[in-house]
Amino acid sequence: MSNTNKTALVVSAHSADFVWRCGGAIASHVKQGWHVKVVCLSFGERGESAKLWKLPDMTLEKVKAARRDEAQRAADILGADVEFWDIGDYPMRVSDDTLFRMVDLYQTLQPEFVLSHSVKDPYNFDHPLAMHLAQEARVTAQAAGHNLEQKVLGAPPVYAFEPHQTEQCEWTPNTFLDITDVWDLKRQAIECMAGQEHLWAYYTRVAQQRGVQAKRNIGITTKRNIEYAEGYMKLTPTVVDTL
Amino acid sequence: MSNTNKTALVVSAHSADFVWRCGGAIASHVKQGWHVKVVCLSFGERGESAKLWKLPDMTLEKVKAARRDEAQRAADILGADVEFWDIGDYPMRVSDDTLFRMVDLYQTLQPEFVLSHSVKDPYNFDHPLAMHLAQEARVTAQAAGHNLEQKVLGAPPVYAFEPHQTEQCEWTPNTFLDITDVWDLKRQAIECMAGQEHLWAYYTRVAQQRGVQAKRNIGITTKRNIEYAEGYMKLTPTVVDTL
Amino acid sequence: MSNTNKTALVVSAHSADFVWRCGGAIASHVKQGWHVKVVCLSFGERGESAKLWKLPDMTLEKVKAARRDEAQRAADILGADVEFWDIGDYPMRVSDDTLFRMVDLYQTLQPEFVLSHSVKDPYNFDHPLAMHLAQEARVTAQAAGHNLEQKVLGAPPVYAFEPHQTEQCEWTPNTFLDITDVWDLKRQAIECMAGQEHLWAYYTRVAQQRGVQAKRNIGITTKRNIEYAEGYMKLTPTVVDTL
Amino acid sequence: MSNTNKTALVVSAHSADFVWRCGGAIASHVKQGWHVKVVCLSFGERGESAKLWKLPDMTLEKVKAARRDEAQRAADILGADVEFWDIGDYPMRVSDDTLFRMVDLYQTLQPEFVLSHSVKDPYNFDHPLAMHLAQEARVTAQAAGHNLEQKVLGAPPVYAFEPHQTEQCEWTPNTFLDITDVWDLKRQAIECMAGQEHLWAYYTRVAQQRGVQAKRNIGITTKRNIEYAEGYMKLTPTVVDTL
Amino acid sequence: MSNTNKTALVVSAHSADFVWRCGGAIASHVKQGWHVKVVCLSFGERGESAKLWKLPDMTLEKVKAARRDEAQRAADILGADVEFWDIGDYPMRVSDDTLFRMVDLYQTLQPEFVLSHSVKDPYNFDHPLAMHLAQEARVTAQAAGHNLEQKVLGAPPVYAFEPHQTEQCEWTPNTFLDITDVWDLKRQAIECMAGQEHLWAYYTRVAQQRGVQAKRNIGITTKRNIEYAEGYMKLTPTVVDTL
Amino acid sequence: MSNTNKTALVVSAHSADFVWRCGGAIASHVKQGWHVKVVCLSFGERGESAKLWKLPDMTLEKVKAARRDEAQRAADILGADVEFWDIGDYPMRVSDDTLFRMVDLYQTLQPEFVLSHSVKDPYNFDHPLAMHLAQEARVTAQAAGHNLEQKVLGAPPVYAFEPHQTEQCEWTPNTFLDITDVWDLKRQAIECMAGQEHLWAYYTRVAQQRGVQAKRNIGITTKRNIEYAEGYMKLTPTVVDTL
């Protein structure tokens, strides 16, 4: 599917997070020829499926199946390769086995960058835990003595994508990604999330607001049009040749 | 001297600051064909010329002349176009005339980016004031109603270059510029500062430390060599097409 | 117009700020019988009137008149009593005369609360200056020895209303005001701002996002509907009898 | 005991914390007809019972019994309903069983608000852990898929009560509760803590200082008298109809 | 009066601040043989003399005289050498003449350390301004080219003494000074402030609370008794030979 | 080996950390007659031994043995008493057994101060974990009811030594230790780390930079020479008799 050999990794706590929060980044990089791997740690089956639980005769397995189906369709639309690790949610717990599985994935995939949740979120403790896993696995994958037969990882930058209430999460975007030309795909992927229809308009407006802000940060007099954008908080410095 | 039409602006509180703190950025962009304008707001004649003041029969004018000469030679080596505004130091005061002069310079120059001091510095109040001038003039230059005959400014990003004691200044680098291939020029420029020889080794080591850190941030296993770097704190978000 | 004896004060740097940023609070309190006084320190004539400046034969006085007219109509819709102090913008400068005028207003008005800009805003230095004026005048108005013939001020809380790019301004909302039932008035007032039509949709979306967040903070299972809200950052503690 | 149907929940790491830190809030809300449930996670048997350990023939069980007795008497005075979960202290460890027990309590109690420790405390790691439990259980109790037979929780605000050295804990009060008219009860409850008599005067002075500050925040010219208060740091925004 | 040649400088915004906030430090260092100079920038005549203004036939000059008399007596008790610069309060304004006067004082006095207000105080803008003066004058006094006939200043550390509502001022004590054996003097000095009797008990309790905290920071099992202390926030690093 | 009865404790995540980060403090206190105990939690066998892993026929045990040998030699040079707890690295995990072992060590050793890593480090999660262990064990060792037969711990201050990229770790030095007269020993100890030769020059420069900064903080005009220093972030307040 890709015509470059570049890859990216997304660590999503629940199965819809990657759509709302970085669906544009996925679609945009896939369009640029990248291979994007998404790991859904859980289906959000307990914490983010309220609408499904109102249906008659619902069980945990049925909720998971419905959520998996939605997420798979969204991933297909965006062009991502998705895995479901089913480690549970609300509360999420990360075992060392899960950590080492993520380390292996890093070393196999050798991603150019990683996307995950904000480091803090007082409304949702699964989110920072997913980010911690993404970070700790990354550092472990850099260790020469961890897997002798594997290639050690370089230093892919980690970006925190946008949480629901940014200011309460001490999340400040330092990077805006223009997603104008893949917005239609992101919106289609969003519409796969039948169980959370109340969020469709919300995250559409998020993309519009970030678009306006991105435009302001390059100068409103520039010719370039930005209608939709996604905000990211890069956690470590960027190395450049030109400022 | 330049073969692109891109320009950059440096606002330096004292006449040596631009050398220690962003001499590499100047030389590197000049080498890439940019036109780099440096404004030295003062000569550092009172606060940063202790060695000169120990010479016999010294006067304020003689100190200024000596400092100007040093800075001019350093700018020539780096390839920068330097102006001396002589507004005084220790304490520095910025009049509205100075502000409007800076606004005019922004609108004439239309720089792609701006470099100045850290926003906070408990060891030196001229430094944050210079940065404030750089920021307030930038915003004023964006106003449609300020100078009708002038072209309004876009949104050039502002970077804070490295202060002397970074942690005390709440300065955190989010950008490293590789200056390995212009290091020789920066070192030559540094050596023009005869009055502050005690800082030559200090800022050489700063460049080496930032080089090691830059290397670590791109991955120590990468082929690319970085021996010298400069750190910057970009104050506003970056807009990108690829993460 | 008011049937309580409660008053509130809004300190707006430019003549449209009070509409975008706290139009709902104004309309809501007026509806509850309050008297709301708005001080527009400037017309935003230089910095926020780009569209007007593109018209033929425009002068500073014409821009001011147009902006004044828009703001007056918006204030009328919201039910506020507006004053225009015309102290200039981009850059704004506050003299001691302006400070003392504000002190007098505080002592005459005896407001229950005060609304102004965020304490920090790297995109706009007039905004924090207006807030500083609002705060310093408030403290001065509390001084027994300032105006012997006047009643000293109590301790009205100061709220910072929402800036354009919240995270860059270190602005975190700790208070959401439900403006659902006055939204129509706010939208009408917004539409008076003919010169900044590009912001109409932006601030409509801001109100919708804050509405969703307010709802989440009271619990999405509550019966109460909140469609539109405004966010505020209260700068000092609240004293309560019930948590 | 209550004549409203409102309830509140207090999560106290050690068996005396609820007395020093929020005894006034408990007594005040009980007086207003609320039902207040206190969970003491431990007796502070190892870390906060130094005086008891100096008695002859002391054992862990005797210390726990003495501490339980003190806390029960204090709770009776304040009018609270107290539970002792006895999960151990210094160091405290929270199992998933404890988490789910707390989730059940949230869903059964449906509290209007929750009180617990500061999020950070370099002098005491049991404190932030208790707060983390209070927060994570709250979020889990909001999950539709956790306990199908239970009513999901709304969004009760969480307040951090005052730690011993506030500034070292990055704890900033944004809410003061007037406890003047229940102070006598709080003082009586404090005096139940025979093992920590050195703290009686300390927390009396805390209440007096917060009383003075509360008074200052409503204006020292107001008629209302506040002699004793408690400070709280509310962790999430408040939704209001009037500012 | 002193038997060492060490000196210290206190920069007090209003004429009573030095008593409440660092009276213990003054008395303690005087007792150790130091010369302590206090500069009262204003008398607090407008902002902190409410009780005096209620007396009949009061004028600004009478208030100043009464406040001066109180402060002089307090300084005498503490053993400090006090100067009154009478630059006005509420609002305080610092001219360059005042700055240079302070620079001269620094160079003449050559203090070992400097005490002034917190860097931020949303309840009182004179306080941070006094601190800014103390800091900017200190840096200017270090400049070789400022006063050729004067000895340049070394690097005396600057400490921020305790503001009224510490947490709101982002003031965190990193240093506690034991003032137990000079407490009686501080209390006597406090009682000179007839116009602010409501603060006597408040600042007595502050000293007691800081005493308890100081004791806790050296270990409650240590033999040493600390009943009264003052908290300080040292703004720059300490250089030591032993940790 | 010691001629005072003072002791200090160093908690080092990997076996080389104590050399780079506080080798000067160790040598200096040993020279002053202290007993310094170093606990190496791991050998850094997986994460910090890349060079060793490139040798033929390498095994985990061989790497550990080589690292242990290097660290033992470095400790001998510095005069420290070192223990190797071998709990593993990348990722490090701390069991309650390890915690209680550390508690016992605290109570046996009764150190005057403790040195460990920065509280945050996005590049290395073993580092903050080691610091957390140092802090939690310290608090547990203060509990009267933990080990009845042991003497409870006082309140030894905890210092965070310097991480690799200070600004990214929110590490700000508030204490500089002059290590000029033990620098030769530190350099010799550094040179024991054959596997990390690339860091020798880096940490030599760190010591030189901190030396220059320490000098600046005592005043560059003072007679005292400081060529090498180490920076520390003390986590709790200092109690003093003289400012």
Q: CATH number, domain at C220? A: 3.40.50.10320
Closest chain D residue to E172 measured between Cα atoms?
D167
Which residues of D fall within a CB distance of 8 Å from C220? 155
Mean pLDDT, range E134-139, rounded to an integer? 98
Residue E242 resides in a domain? no
Residue A140's domain spans which residues? 7-233
Pairing of strands F158-161, D238-240: unpaired
Tell me, yes or no, whether chains D and B touch by having 3 or more C-beta pairs under 8 A.
no
Chains contacting D (3 or more CB pairs within 8 Å): A, C, E, F
Give the number of beta-carbon pairs within 8 Å between E and F. 114
How far apart CA B43 and CA E61 sit, in angstroms, is 45
Give the number of beta-carbon pairs within 8 Å between C and D. 114
Angstrom distances, CA of residue D236 to CA of D10, D218, D232: 17, 22, 12
Residue C238 resides in a domain? no
The SS3 of residue D239 is strand
Is residue B206 exposed (0-12), middle (13-18) or buried (19+ Cβ within 10 Å)?
A: buried
How far apart CA A243 and CA A234 sit, in angstroms, is 17
pLDDT at D223: 85
Interface check for B89 against chain A (CB to CB < 8 A): the answer is no
The answer to whether the CB of F95 falls within 8 A of the CB of D91 is: no
Task: Tell me the per-residue pLDDT of E27-73, one tens digit each, with 9 for 90 and over.
Answer: 999 999 999 999 999 999 999 999 999 999 999 999 999 999 999 99
How far apart CA B26 and CA B230 sit, in angstroms, is 11
Count of CA atoms in the C-beta half-sphere (13 A) of F155: 20
Which residues of F fall within a CB distance of 8 Å from A136? 91, 125
How far apart CA B176 and CA B217 sit, in angstroms, is 9
Q: Kindly indicate the confidence band of residue D3, based on its pLDDT and cuts at 50, 70 and 90.
A: low
pLDDT at C195: 80
Which residues of F fall within a CB distance of 8 Å from E156? 219
- Of E46, E93, E123, Cβ closest to residue C146: E46
Task: Tell me the per-residue pLDDT of D156-208, one tens digit each, with 9 for 90 and over.
Answer: 999 999 999 999 999 999 999 999 999 999 999 999 998 888 899 999 999 99
Chains contacting E (3 or more CB pairs within 8 Å): B, C, D, F
Say whether pLDDT at E176 is over 60.
yes
Peptide bond between residue C163 and the one before it cis (omega within 30 degrees of 0): no
Which residues of A fall within a CB distance of 8 Å from B236? 217
Interface check for C2 against chain D (CB to CB < 8 A): the answer is no
Which of E62, E97, E76, E90 lies closest to E23, judged by CA? E76
Mean pLDDT, range A221-226, rounded to an integer? 87
Interface check for D94 against chain A (CB to CB < 8 A): the answer is no
Residue F239 resides in a domain? no
Maximal C-alpha separation, chain E: 60
Contact C155 D217 (CB under 8 A): yes
How far apart CA D223 and CA F198 sit, in angstroms, is 70
Interface check for D218 against chain E (CB to CB < 8 A): the answer is no
**Both tokens of residue C95?**
């003299």
Interface test with F, best of B53, B118, B167, B203 (most F CBs within 10 A): B167
Residues 95-134 of F with CB under 8 A from E: 113, 115
Residues 60-79 of D with CB under 8 A from F: 60, 63
Which residues of F fall within a CB distance of 8 Å from E178? 239-241
pLDDT at C3: 64
Q: Kindly indicate the confidence band of residue E108, based on its pLDDT and cuts at 50, 70 and 90.
A: very high
Which residues of B fall within a CB distance of 8 Å from F202? 209, 212
Q: Phi first, then psi: what are they for C231, rounded to 5°?
A: -100, 145
How far apart CA F182 and CA B87 sit, in angstroms, is 46
At B100, which amino acid appears? F
Tell me, yes or no, whether chains A and E touch by having 3 or more C-beta pairs under 8 A.
no
Angstrom distances, CA of residue E166 to CA of B30, E42, E56, E163, F174: 50, 22, 35, 5, 20
How far apart CA D235 and CA C174 sit, in angstroms, is 9
- Of F140, F145, F235, Cβ closest to residue D45: F145
Angstrom distances, CA of residue B137 to CA of B119, C63, C113, F35: 15, 22, 33, 58
Contact D216 E167 (CB under 8 A): no
Which residues of E fall within a CB distance of 8 Å from F115? 243
DSSP calls for C67-122: HHHHHHHHHHHHT-EEEE-----SS----HHHHHHHHHHHHHH--SEEEE--S--T
Q: Phi first, then psi: what are they for E170, rounded to 5°?
A: 55, 35
Which of A231, C67, C222 lies closest to C214, judged by CA? C222
Residue F143 resides in a domain? yes
pLDDT at F1: 46
Pairing of strands D158-161, D113-116: parallel
Contact E143 B63 (CB under 8 A): no
Task: Tell me the per-residue pLDDT of B172-217, one tens digit each, with 9 for 90 and over.
Answer: 999 999 999 999 999 999 999 988 888 999 999 999 999 999 999 9
- With vertex at residue D94, the alpha carbon angle to CA D89 and CA D98, rounded to the nearest 5 degrees, is 115
Which residues of B fall within a CB distance of 8 Å from A229? 239
Whether the model clears a pTM of 0.90, i.e. scores above it, the answer is yes
Contact F145 D60 (CB under 8 A): yes
Torsion angle in degrees (nearest 10) through CA of B51, B54, B59, B60: 30
pLDDT at E139: 97
- Of C164, C173, C205, Cβ closest to residue A205: C205
- Of A140, A152, A235, Cβ closest to residue F122: A235
Please tell me the distance in Å from E217's CA to the nearest CA on chain B.
24
For residue F9, the Cα-to-chain-centroid distance in whole angstroms is 8
Contact B218 A239 (CB under 8 A): yes
Please tell me the distance in Å from F100's CA to the nearest CA on chain B.
35
- ipTM score of complex: 0.95
Torsion angle in degrees (nearest 10) through CA of E239, E18, B125, B188: -20
Say whether pLDDT at E235 is over 60.
yes
Closest chain E residue to D173 measured between Cα atoms?
E167
Interface test with F, best of A98, A120, A140 (most F CBs within 10 A): A140
Task: Tell me the per-residue pLDDT of A230-243, one tens digit each, with 9 for 90 and over.
Answer: 999 999 999 999 99
pLDDT at D15: 97
Q: Kindly indicate the confidence band of residue A47, based on its pLDDT and cuts at 50, 70 and 90.
A: very high
Q: How many domains does chain D have?
A: 1
How far apart CA E44 and CA E60 sit, in angstroms, is 11
pLDDT at F3: 64
Residue D47 DSSP one-character state:
T
Mean pLDDT, range A227-232, rounded to an integer? 98
- Of D136, D140, D145, Cβ closest to residue A53: D145
Tell me, yes or no, whether chains F and A touch by having 3 or more C-beta pairs under 8 A.
yes
- Residues of chain F with pLDDT below 70 are 1-3
Closest chain A residue to D137 measured between Cα atoms?
A91
- Of C45, C50, C90, Cβ closest to residue B140: C90
Encode burial over C168-186: b for 16+ CB neighbours within 10 A, e otherwise. bbbbbbbbbbbbbebbebb
Which residues of C fall within a CB distance of 8 Å from E90? 139-140, 143, 145-146
Percentage of the residues of chain C whose pLDDT score is greater than 70: 99
**Both tokens of residue F125?**
């999660």
Say whether pLDDT at E8 is over 60.
yes
Q: Kindly indicate the confidence band of residue D143, based on its pLDDT and cuts at 50, 70 and 90.
A: very high
Task: Tell me the per-residue pLDDT of A77-94, one tens digit each, with 9 for 90 and over.
Answer: 999 999 999 999 999 999
pLDDT at A125: 98
Residues 130-169 of E with CB under 8 A from D: 164-168
Task: Tell me the per-residue pLDDT of A112-169, one tens digit each, with 9 for 90 and over.
Answer: 999 999 999 999 999 999 999 999 999 999 999 988 888 999 999 999 999 999 999 9
Count of CA atoms in the C-beta half-sphere (13 A) of B228: 20
Is residue B204 exposed (0-12), middle (13-18) or buried (19+ Cβ within 10 Å)?
A: middle
Interface test with B, best of F54, F118, F167 (most B CBs within 10 A): F167
Residue B151 resides in a domain? yes
Contact B166 F171 (CB under 8 A): no
Mean pLDDT, range C19-28, rounded to an integer? 98
Interface check for B50 against chain E (CB to CB < 8 A): the answer is yes
Q: Phi first, then psi: what are they for B148, rounded to 5°?
A: -65, -30
pLDDT at E48: 93
Mean pLDDT, range C105-110, rounded to an integer? 97
The answer to whether the CB of E237 falls within 8 A of the CB of E168 is: no
Say whether pLDDT at E223 is over 90.
no
- Residues of chain B with pLDDT below 50 are 1-2
Contact F237 E155 (CB under 8 A): no
How far apart CA D90 and CA D93 sit, in angstroms, is 9
Residue C1 resides in a domain? no
Contact A238 B175 (CB under 8 A): yes
Residue E116 resides in a domain? yes
Q: Find the helix packing angle between A126-141 and A96-109, rounded to 10°.
A: 60
Closest chain C residue to A202 measured between Cα atoms?
C209
pLDDT at E147: 85
Please tell me the distance in Å from E176's CA to the nearest CA on chain B.
21
The answer to whether the CB of E69 falls within 8 A of the CB of E84 is: no
Task: Tell me the per-residue pLDDT of C31-74, one tens digit each, with 9 for 90 and over.
Answer: 999 999 999 999 999 999 999 999 999 999 999 999 999 999 99
Interface check for B94 against chain C (CB to CB < 8 A): the answer is no
Percentage of the residues of chain A whose pLDDT score is greater than 70: 99
Please tell me the distance in Å from E63's CA to the nearest CA on chain C.
9
pLDDT at C160: 98
Interface check for D85 against chain F (CB to CB < 8 A): the answer is no
Residue E67 resides in a domain? yes
Say whether pLDDT at E3 is over 80.
no
Contact C240 D178 (CB under 8 A): yes
pLDDT at A1: 46
pLDDT at C105: 98
